[in-house]
Amino acid sequence: MEQIPAEHERGSAYRWLQLFLGIICMAMVANLQYGWTLFVNPLDAKFGWGRAAIQVAFTIFVLTETWLVPIEGYLVDRFGPKPVVMVGGILVGIAWIWNAYADSLTALYCSAAIGGVGAGAVYGTCVGNALKWFPDRRGLAAGLTAAGFGAGSALTVLPIQAIIKASGYEQAFLYFGILQGLIVFVVSFGLSSPRGEFKTSSINVQQGKRNYRPMEIVKKPVFWIMYLMFVLMAAGGLMATAQLAPIAKDFKVADVPVSILGLTLPALTFALSIDRVLNGVTRPFFGWVSDNIGRENTMFIAFGLEAIGIFALAQLGNDPFMFVVLTGLVFFAWGEIYSLFPSTCTDSFGSQYAAANAGLLYTAKGTASLLVPLSSMLTTATGSWHAVFYAAAAMNAVAAVLALALLKPLRSRQLAIDNR
């Protein structure tokens, strides 16, 4: 394992290179989650399995992507990022290549599990590495890294749609599976982690001096409050991510042209492109904000904005223009959870085991994914998406209140004890 001493004279510039390489890897696994919605209807049209059954594959992907990250994080903390990301690249390639030939739900589910393991290995490693290299700018660094995952699929929405239309979804799975897996594999050779803790004199947020092991943080109330908030916030965003194409179809706006700033596209295509960009931009933006005004204060602002956006989408989403604008707002106010929670976790529990600890918290995304199939069932039972939207808005509002009412005082108390 190649490690670069924090004291090395090139450390300051080298850490930005590490951040850049991590962002590339994240962008290459983004389609496994954010591109999935483009394949749901074509799969259903070919096999007639039903959207709910197909979306089980998405749930399996998210579960394996998240719940195994603590193990992958442990391997990163022990052996470094290179071998973990290398294996992750191989697995994500295999998963989409397998999807191209899957002719049963069992095959689809198995490939989803493989892709989840691979994407989780890449995601957990790159975020954990950023947290270690940037103790002074954790929110920004985690946000930029997570932005690769949030916005990484933005430039590929149109190419994937074009390939699906011209050659079928199978070719899209095949071509992008090979491309994405190969790039991650090659880039992994350049990754390394700092030896010990990267020292810096500029830190604007309060951080603990103690390095907690994963089995220690699960005994802390702060961890479980963050976990609950993460689940509440992730659930609504995951439903929108996985179900955006079906929602647009049911609202009867998917193919309606929308013009914004001189650009005209079908509402769904426009929404997918803008959402990917905003879902990426929000991560470093709110991460940077949290580096300056505090994690919990930023959470309250962003989570409250998400609640308002989802509620408004329920009311106005059947208008094509408002559908595009409001889904953009929803993604902008949602994606920051992937920078705020990892940075808050590492501030609270130390950087030595940052990959494993942040990975343990990241399993909350997997817990939240269990609600995605339920959203389809609730929609079928009620005949509209409104009940789902109202429930998601309420969960986000609760998370916003918890940030200031519970998390902030509990974390301040713990840090006061740890820093004595």
- What is the predicted pLDDT for the residue at 196? 64
Answer with the residue of higher pLDDT: 4 or 178. Answer: 178
Contact 54, 180 (CB under 8 A): no
Question: 260-275: per-residue pLDDT in tens?
Answer: 888 888 888 888 878 7
3-state secondary structure the chain: CCEEECCCCCHHHHHHHHHHHHHHHHHHHCHHHHCCHHHHHHHHHHHCCCHHHHHHHHHHHHHHHHHCHHHHHHHHHHHCHHHHHHHHHHHHHHHHHHHHHCCCHHHHHHHHHHHHHHHHHHHHHHHHHHHHHCCCCHHHHHHHHHHHHHHCCHHHHHHHHHHHHHHCHHHHHHHHHHHHHHHHHHHHHHCCEEECCCCCCCCCCCCCCCCCCHHHHCCCHHHHHHHHHHHHHHHHHHHHHHHHHHHHHHCCCCCCEEEECCEEEEHHHHHHHHHHHHHHHHHHHHHHHHHHHCHHHHHHHHHHHHHHHHHHHHHHCCCHHHHHHHHHHHHHCCCCHHHHHHHHHHHHHCCCCHHHHHHHHHHHHHHHHCHHHHHHHHHHHHCCCHHHHHHHHHHHHHHHHHHHHHHHHHHHHHHHHHCC
Question: 138-147: per-residue pLDDT in tens?
Answer: 999 999 998 8
| Beta-carbon count within 10 A of 138 CB | 30
- What is the predicted pLDDT for the residue at 8? 45
- What is the predicted pLDDT for the residue at 199? 62
Closest CA to 89 of 171, 188, 164, 200: 188
Mean pLDDT in the chain? 88
Give percent of the chain with pLDDT exceeding 90. Answer: 54
Whole-angstrom distance, CA of residue 110 vs CA of residue 93? 14
Binned at pLDDT 50, 70 and 90, residue 305 comes out as very high
Question: 55-72: per-residue pLDDT in tens?
Answer: 899 889 988 988 888 998
Contact 285, 170 (CB under 8 A): no
Tokens of 321: 């223009």
- What is the predicted pLDDT for the residue at 93? 96
Question: At a CB cut-off of 8 Å and minimum separation 6, what does 396 contact?
Answer: 232, 233, 236, 303, 304, 306, 307, 310
Closest CA to 56 of 388, 374, 387, 389: 374
Q: Across residues 298-322, what is the average pLDDT?
A: 92
Contact 135, 197 (CB under 8 A): yes
Whole-angstrom distance, CA of residue 148 vs CA of residue 77? 22
Q: Across residues 116-121, what is the average pLDDT?
A: 95
Quick one: how far is CA 227 from the chain centroid? 15
Q: Across residues 200-225, what is the average pLDDT?
A: 85
User: Can you list the domains of the chain with their CATH numbers?
Assistant: 11-197+209-418 (1.20.1250.20)
Q: Across residues 198-218, what is the average pLDDT?
A: 80
- What is the predicted pLDDT for the residue at 29? 93
Strand partners, 3: 193
Please give the model's pTM, rounded to 2 decimal places: 0.82
Q: Across residues 387-401, what is the average pLDDT?
A: 90
